[in-house]
Every structure is written in C-alpha cells, then in structure tokens.
Amino acid sequence: MTTTETVHPSQCWECNTYCGSLVTLRDGQVTKIAPNPDHPGSKGGFCVKGIRAVREWTDNDSRLQYPMRRVGSRGSGKWERISWDGALSEMADRLAATRATYGPLSIAGAVSGAAFSRGAVMALLLRSIGSPNWMINQDLCGGCQALGEKITGTPMKNGEDIDNAQCAMLVGRNPQAADPVQWMALKALKKRGGRIIVIDPIQGPASDLADIWLRPRPGTDAALALAIAHVLIAEDRYDRDFVDKWCHGFEQYKARVEEYPPHVAAELTGVAEEDIVEAARCYADGPSVFVPGHGIDAFSAGVQTFRAFDCLVAISGNLDRPGGNRLVKRPKGFRTYLDLLHDPQFRLPRETEKQTIGADRFPLWAGPEGWQTACHNPSVIDAILTDKPYPVRALYISGVNIVVTYPNAARTIEALKSLDFVAVAAQTMTPTAAFADIVLPKTTTLEEEEVQLQGGVPCVSYTRAVVPPRGEARCDLDIALSLRDKLAERQALTQDFLPWKDQRAFNEYLLGDSGITIDALQENGYATFPHRQGEFESADFGTPTGKVELFSERLNDLGLEPLPDHVAPSADQSDERSRADYPLILITGIREKTYHHSRFRDQAWARKVSPDPLIQIHPETAAAYGVADAQWVSLRTPGIATHCRLRAQVTERAPRGVVATGMGWWRPDADSPDLGACDININGAMSYAGPWDPVTGSPDSRGMRCQLTPLAAGA
Ligand SMILES: Nc1nc2c(c(=O)[nH]1)N[C@H]1C(S)=C(S)[C@@H](COP(=O)(O)OP(=O)(O)OC[C@H]3O[C@@H](n4cnc5c(=O)[nH]c(N)nc54)[C@H](O)[C@@H]3O)O[C@H]1N2
Ligand SMILES: Nc1nc2c(c(=O)[nH]1)N[C@H]1C(S)=C(S)[C@@H](COP(=O)(O)OP(=O)(O)OC[C@H]3O[C@@H](n4cnc5c(=O)[nH]c(N)nc54)[C@H](O)[C@@H]3O)O[C@H]1N2
Ligand code: SF4
Ligand SMILES: [Mo]
C-alpha cells in the first residue's frame, strides 16, 4: 500500500498569537502539526495547544457530530439526534414565531471574540432577521485596549516591535503562558542586553526575567503611567517634535500629568517612588515597547488605564518607530470584520440600531456610532430576565461558552432557562450547550478556512481546512446561510445581508482588491504586503482632530473624562462594612499553558498537568484565614449570592492581601446540569452588574474585594 504525505502551511488560530503552522497529512489524516519558521509573525514560535490540543479537540470521542434536540427539560442532559434539515427547520420556526410575537429585536446572538470574522457572520445573520442585538465578549477581552487606542488615535494592538527594542515595558502581561512568540522575543531582548520593566502585582515568569519589577495594587496602573509621563516631561525626555506635530491637547495633558508626581503615584499604587523614577528613566532610554496584557483590560477603569499608557507611548516618540509600537497596517483593499460591520450596505436603519441594547449608555461601544456595534452583554442578560428595555426571547449562541466565561454563571443559566428558544453551535457539549433546545455541531479550526489580517506583524495569514468536517459538523457561515434560507421561506427576514455562497467566497470578499489571492496564501500560509512606518503625514489616526488625542474630543463630547486619569479600583470604593466582610483583593484570569479559556477541559494530558483550579495566596494571608496549601476554599465577592470552590496554592509569589486565580473551569464529566460551571468556575462567584467601564461597559475582572473560607475535606 502506498502512503502519501503532504505538508501544508497554515495558521493556528487557537489563540490570538496566530502562529504560522505546518500541517502534515498522511492519507488524509493529520499526523503532525509543527511551527512554520518562515511565518513573519510567529517566526517559528508555537505551543502545546497548537501541536496537540487542536488535533485532540477535532478527534476526541466527546466531539459533537450531528445536530441534537433536547427531549427532557432544559439542562436535563437528554437529547435525540436529528437531521440538519430538521434542526434548521425547527430553529427557523421558533425564531419566526418569536419575531412575529415580539418583533425582530427580541432575537439576539452571541459569539466568541476569538474568531472575529465569525462575529461578522453572526451580526449579519441577526441584522438579516432585523435585529441589531448580537453579543461579542470583547467587554471581557481586549475591548478596553482596542477602544482606548481608537479614541486616542493609537491603533497599535499586537504591533509590539520587541525585536528592535532596547526596553520592553510589560503591563499586566504573562507571555510565558499566553504568547510564546512574545516570550521568545523578550528572552532574546534580554540576551542582547536590552532591559525589561514588568508591572504586575503577582510574581511570575515575566517578573523573574525583569530588570525592574513594579508591583502595584491591582487596578492602579493608570497612576503609574501618569507618573512615568511626569518624569519624562519634567526631565524633558519626551519627543517634542512628535508632540508638536501630531498630538492634540498637550497642555491640558501636561497639567493632568503634573497632578501625578512619582510620590503621589507611590501613595496610590504602593510602588516605591524611586522605583517609578527608575522605570521612567529606563523607558525614556528607548526605543521602548509597551507590551500590555489582559491584566489592565476588562475592568471598570480599563479605557482610562489604556489611554494613560497610549499617551505615554505617543509622547515618548515610540509610536510607529522601530523598537516601539507599530500602528497596525493593512493591505489596500482588504476588508476586516469591522469593515463589514460598519459598511453602510450591511447596516440596519439608524433608528433600529439606536435600539441596540446598551447603545444609550455605551454609544462608543454599541449601536450606530459604536466601535463594535454589538450589545452591552450584561444588559442583554438583564433584558432576558426583566423584559427591560424590551423583551429578548430567543438566543443563538455560536462558539462562546457564556455560562463559563461571562460573570455570574447562575444568572446566565437562569437567563438561558427563561428564554423561549436557545440554539447553541459548539464542538463539544459545553455548559452553555447543555442549556440549549437545539445543539448544532460546529467545525474546528482544522476543518474550516480562515483569512486573517495580522495588522501588527503586518501580514495576512491563512488557515487551511486540512481535513473535511468530522461527522456532520458545519462552519458558522454555512449554518447562517441555511438558516437564512429557512427564515426567508417563513417571511421572517428583513433583508439579506449574507451575499456569499460559501466560506471561500466570504474569504475572497475579505481579500477584496488587496491583490492577495487564496492561491498565494495556500502556497505559504501567509502573505506580506508593502507598508511604511513613521509616515504620519499619510497615517490615519482616526480621531476627530486627525491627531493623537491626549485630550479626547470624543470623550469630552460625551461628558466623559477627556484626559487620562487614575480611577480608584472598586476595592477602594467600598464601604467599611464591605471591607471587613471582604478583606482580600481578587485577581482573575491568569492563563495556563494547557488550556485555552474553557476549551480542552476534556483532554486527559491537560487535566494531568493542571487538574484543579488554583488560587494563589501569600503564606501570611493563608495563615490569617486558616487556609492550608492545597486545601479547597470557598470564594465570595460582594453583590452576588453564589460562591465558587478553588484550591489554595500558598505562595510568596502573591502579595499579602491579594489572591489570584485563573478562569474557564468546568468538568465535562461532572454530573450536575451545569457541568461544574457553578462550582469550580471563578465566574460562579463574580457579579456582572457593574461597576462598568463608562466607555466599553466592561465589568471588573480584577481589583474587587473578596473573602475566602477554608472548606473541610470532601466539601
Ligand atoms: N495558554 C493560553 N494562552 C492564551 C489564552 C489562554 O486561555 N490560554 N487566552 C488568550 C486570550 S483571549 C487572552 S485575553 C490572553 C490573556 O493573557 P495575558 O494578557 O497575559 O493576561 P493574563 O494571563 O490574564 O495575566 C496577565 C498578568 O496580569 C497581571 N495582573 C492582574 N491584575 C493586574 C493589575 O491590576 N495590574 C497589572 N499591572 N497586572 C495585573 C496578572 O498577575 C498576570 O501576570 O491570553 C491569550 N493566550
Ligand atoms: N472572570 C474572568 N472571566 C473571563 C476572563 C477573565 O480573565 N476572568 N477572560 C475573558 C477573556 S480574555 C476571554 S477571551 C473570554 C473567553 O471566552 P470564550 O470565548 O467563551 O472561551 P472559549 O473557551 O475560548 O470558547 C468557548 C467555545 O467557543 C468555541 N470556540 C471558541 N473559539 C473558537 C474558534 O476560534 N473557532 C471555533 N470554531 N470555535 C471556537 C468552542 O466551542 C469553545 O468551547 O473569557 C473572558 N472571561
Ligand atoms: S500560541 Fe499556541 S494556541 Fe496560540 S496560536 Fe500559537 S500554537 Fe496556536
Ligand atoms: Mo481574551
């Protein structure tokens, strides 16, 4: 028997590192996934999830392979197999009925932030039905960075030029687990004599590598950024030329920065004054790259915090300069998912979009002027449960595990249970799919084709569908197109906003007139395109003044704070009683190499490496609350009745009084209807009810108060 072996350049998009990969196929089976050393973004970087987890995720016994309909009550775990035609017909019947009774706005959709083009597909499906209500979990991920940068005029996400930097300043970033490519680049920088500043309350691999480690109280980073700017301006070490030509509002900004001399920031953050000055001088000796992470995103002062750092990058002259932070680039004629969302030909009437849930309160995020156009997610959960501002009665969820990854798991489940109809597309039976009426089997990233702009590298990358979908799995676009047809038959469409015949046509539409073809992408797995750095004459800062806005006109128009500022974290805003009841400060979301959020929880190797959800606690704090190493504890936060269980890891790497945990925990083999999502998941103990960032509507994922109670063995 002859065997044929072929190697295909592709791209892993299991996380937003988006590494170039080489996939080996033997007789149609994936036998190996390895890094592609030629990829201009990842340069040979890769991780165990790309090598191993994706294959297992595709081939696992627990993979959903055909559509299913619930036969017991919602969440009872009883299902029957149905055909695609049966599933889509039933879904269309139910959505058409909801639309007829309550109107199109009563139907909502939800997607993951992990796959942006999928977000556009969901949004355009909903818009076709006549509803502007779709949810993307960017309020919990990256939204504060992206919108802060957009408002400031510094769109530089993922454009960190560590390779050419002399100094890297990591703020709330844990690249050793979250981004192996960054981690490689940082180690190389260190090796060639560059310096690393790490700003992080928790000791970790990055702070172990650092020359200067600042350890602020969680949620106080903006004060550090302002104090560093203070030193740069006071010592005349900022880029006057860039400021004069390209920055708007320097005088007001300077006045704000004068309110934050290092000793004031020291008071607010708990970092020693001389360490702040040393970090500022190190950052001033550029070129310096700002490397931000989730540790300063997704919290109620996220946009202000990012703006404080964005302004620092700008005034220090590190914007779009080698060794600094690149402005994101794109090939002319290429369309991103945001272009699709904002293209007038794909929009509902303005009056309809103004009714997007959350658009009244967060207009820069949701609705007709919104950056995402998507809903404010916690307000959708509220609408489901209260009918305010109007009823939301049906939900189609694809590729997002909202029961696990949205705060307040019990309330999310209550909302799902109260709906008239829920459909979930997923690859495995997640705690979210468990509460659906209809479950649709979804393709994995080995089975679907994706075209992805990596504007920070910059390049366009290509993910090849290397194997056919397993069982009857389908990709999001195919599901949306079939559903659209069924809805059209039932006169339940407002307009057809899905003009593509299949995923290939959709991807070709994204490539547009860029001159990059699918053929070229298949050849290498990526395509580079001409671009220039530092040409600000032709740069589009995208702000009302056309400059980098240290003083934001957009925020000012909305009556929001136009200058970057320190906002006291939630923990400091609570009253004395709450301080007594909830004496500790909580950090959530620290990544682990094994898992991607809630994914891969059914993989034996990963569970062996990381069997339980851990919470780091300082030995003195542990002793004060009677907590022993490896003991299970109950964690509570204010404003929510439910708790979660975690396993104590007593370590000096956590500061006194601060406890830190991960996210995404559930157990596929748990025998409760929620599969452990209300038990070992940090979001079982967190409220989604605010405080919210005034721009993005993000809730606090850190910096709030909590209490820990040791549990007896077996509890
Ligand atoms: N293996 C793996 N990789 C992933 C993911 C995954 O789930 N698994 N997820 C991907 C996604 S979507 C994301 S968003 C990224 C997230 O990855 P990162 O951006 O690296 O974020 P985290 O791992 O949450 O932790 C960041 C660091 O912030 C610190 N931190 C917490 N609070 C504060 C604070 O108030 N101030 C400061 N200065 N620091 C703070 C924490 O101690 C931690 O060291 O990872 C991506 N990569
Ligand atoms: N308390 C707390 N909550 C958090 C966080 C935190 O730090 N603390 N972090 C937040 C962050 S940064 C994020 S990104 C979210 C993650 O939240 P989610 O997006 O919900 O997390 P995942 O587990 O990655 O994805 C859920 C499901 O979507 C499907 N899926 C996800 N990505 C893809 C994809 O690319 N293709 C396909 N076909 N299917 C996909 C899979 O079926 C998977 O089971 O959680 C957020 N929630
Ligand atoms: S870091 Fe790992 S999971 Fe993320 S894209 Fe690269 S190989 Fe895939
Ligand atoms: Mo994220």
pLDDT tens digits along 578-587: 899 999 999 9
pLDDT exceeds cutoff 80 at 621: yes
pLDDT digits (tens, 9 = 90+) for 597-617: 999 998 999 999 999 999 999
Name the strands in the sheet holding 212-214, side by side, starting at the edge strand that comes first in the sequence.
Answer: 212-214, 195-199, 167-171, 288-292
Tell me how crowded residue 227 is: count the other CB atoms within 10 A of its CB.
29
- Please choose, from the candidates 318, 302, 313, the residue with its C-alpha nearest in 3D space to the C-alpha of residue 222: 302
Q: Residue 187: its pLDDT value, please?
A: 98
pLDDT digits (tens, 9 = 90+) for 121-173: 999 999 999 999 999 999 999 999 999 999 999 999 999 999 999 999 999 99
Can you tell me the mean pLDDT for 518-528? 97
Residue whose CA is at the smallest distance from ligand 1 atom 4: 178
- Which ligand sits nearest to residue 112's alpha carbon? 2
**Best probe residue, ligand 1, of 179, 200, 588 (max atoms within 8 Å of C-beta):** 200
pLDDT exceeds cutoff 70 at 1: no
Q: Which CATH superfamily does the domain covering 160-325+536-557 fall into?
A: Dimethylsulfoxide Reductase, domain 2 (3.40.228.10)
pLDDT exceeds cutoff 70 at 284: yes
Q: Residue 715: its pLDDT value, please?
A: 65
Q: Is 177 in the pocket of ligand 1 (CB under 6 A)?
A: yes
Q: How confident is the model at residue 713 (pLDDT cuts 50, 70, 90)?
A: confident
**Best probe residue, ligand 3, of 10, 12, 23, 176 (max atoms within 8 Å of C-beta):** 12
CATH code 3.40.50.740 region(s) in the chain: 84-142+334-446+470-511
Average pLDDT, the chain: 96
CA distance 558 to 138: 21
pLDDT exceeds cutoff 80 at 474: yes
DSSP 533: S
Share of the chain above pLDDT 90, in %: 93
Q: Is 600 in the pocket of ligand 3 (CB under 6 A)?
A: no
- Which ligand sits nearest to residue 461's alpha carbon? 3
Q: Is 220 in the pocket of ligand 2 (CB under 6 A)?
A: no
pLDDT exceeds cutoff 90 at 373: yes
Q: How far is the CA of 57 from the centre of ligand 3 (A)?
A: 14
Q: What is the pTM of this model?
A: 0.97
Q: Residue 613: its pLDDT value, please?
A: 98
pLDDT digits (tens, 9 = 90+) for 289-331: 999 999 999 999 999 999 999 999 999 999 999 999 999 999 9
Q: How far is the CA of 435 from the centre of ligand 1 (A)?
A: 29
Between 419 and 4, where is the model more confident? 419
Q: How far is the CA of 140 from the centre of ligand 4 (A)?
A: 7
Residue whose CA is at the smallest distance from ligand 1 atom 33: 295
pLDDT exceeds cutoff 80 at 199: yes
CB contact at 8 A, 294 and 184: no
Upstream peptide bond of 349 is cis (omega within 30 degrees of 0): no
Can you tell me the mean pLDDT for 491-506? 98
- Which ligand sits nearest to residue 687's alpha carbon? 2
Q: Residue 118: its pLDDT value, please?
A: 84
CA distance 120 to 421: 22
β-pairing verdict for 29-35 and 20-26: antiparallel
CA distance 420 to 81: 21
CB contact at 8 A, 199 and 169: yes
Q: How far is the CA of 142 from the centre of ligand 4 (A)?
A: 6
Q: Residue 113: its pLDDT value, please?
A: 77
**Best probe residue, ligand 3, of 19, 51, 457 (max atoms within 8 Å of C-beta):** 19
Q: Residue 680: its pLDDT value, please?
A: 98
What top-level class would CATH report for the domain 84-142+334-446+470-511?
Answer: alpha beta
pLDDT exceeds cutoff 80 at 81: yes
Q: How confident is the model at residue 538 (pLDDT cuts 50, 70, 90)?
A: confident
Can you tell me the mean pLDDT for 436-456? 96
Q: How far is the CA of 110 from the centre of ligand 2 (A)?
A: 12
CATH code 3.40.228.10 region(s) in the chain: 160-325+536-557
User: In sequence order, what DSSP letters do the residues of 377-410 get, joined into one string?
Assistant: HHHHHHHHHH--SS---EEEEES--HHHHSS-HH
Which atom of ligand 2 lies nearest, measured to the CA of 443?
38
pLDDT exceeds cutoff 90 at 117: no
Can you tell me the mean pLDDT for 550-559? 98
Q: How confident is the model at residue 2 (pLDDT cuts 50, 70, 90)?
A: low
How far from 305 is each of 274, 297, 652, CA to CA, in Å?
A: 22, 8, 27
Q: Residue 574: its pLDDT value, please?
A: 84
User: In sequence order, what DSSP letters do the residues of 288-337 get, joined into one string?
Assistant: EEEEE-GGGSSSTTHHHHHHHHHHHHHHTT-BTSTTSBPPP---TT---H
CA distance 493 to 110: 19
Q: Is 46 in the pocket of ligand 3 (CB under 6 A)?
A: yes
Structure tokens at 457: 């590298």
Q: How confident is the model at residue 3 (pLDDT cuts 50, 70, 90)?
A: confident
Share of the chain above pLDDT 70, in %: 99
Structure tokens at 424: 């979930």
- Please choose, from the candidates 217, 194, 189, 184, the residue with its C-alpha nearest in 3D space to the C-alpha of residue 282: 194
Q: Is 60 in the pocket of ligand 2 (CB under 6 A)?
A: no
Q: Is 178 in the pocket of ligand 3 (CB under 6 A)?
A: no
Q: Is 182 in the pocket of ligand 2 (CB under 6 A)?
A: no
pLDDT digits (tens, 9 = 90+) for 89-112: 999 999 999 999 999 999 999 998
Q: Which of these ranges, 111-120, 181-190, 424-433, has the smallest mean pLDDT?
A: 111-120
pLDDT digits (tens, 9 = 90+) for 644-701: 999 999 999 999 999 999 999 999 999 999 999 999 999 999 999 999 999 999 999 9
User: In sequence order, what DSSP letters do the residues of 162-176 get, joined into one string?
Assistant: GGG-SEEEEES--HH
Residue whose CA is at the smallest distance from ligand 1 atom 47: 178
pLDDT exceeds cutoff 70 at 444: yes
CATH code 2.40.40.20 region(s) in the chain: 570-710
Residue whose CA is at the smallest distance from ligand 3 atom 2: 47
- CATH of region 570-710: 2.40.40.20
pLDDT digits (tens, 9 = 90+) for 475-493: 999 999 999 999 999 999 9
